[in-house]
Amino acid sequence: MARALIHVPPSAKRGEVIEIKTLISHVMETGYRIGVTGQPIPRDIIEDFVCTYNGEEVFRAKLYPAIAANPFISFFTIATERGTIAFSWTDQHGATQVQTAAITVE
């Protein structure tokens, strides 16, 4: 499992705009580079990032080879209700990593 760091404010007021930050360790190998033996290094990237808030999708991003290693994605959403914010990263081989964070809304 890759390392992921997620920052979600643990609590917020209802209707408040909150910033969410995510960082995941991944090589994001472009497929355009040549290795020391002269062979091309195969492409290996994360292709999809999805964030859901209590099951409802609030943010989605498609990633391409031009994205640097260890992608950092930051975005905003509105705190509507207490619950779980889930993040999933899917690589080009179809492997998905999911991580969640809890949020309290008053």
* 3-state SS class at 8: coil
Residues 57-76 that bind other proteins (CB under 8 A): 68-70, 72, 74
Pairing of β 96-105 and β 11-12:
parallel
Site map (CB under 8 A) of other proteins, residues 14-53, x = contact:
-------x-xxx-xx-------------------------
Pairing of β 56-62 and β 72-78:
unpaired
- Piece in contact with other proteins (CB under 8 A), picked from 1-9, 31-39, 77-85, 91-99: 1-9
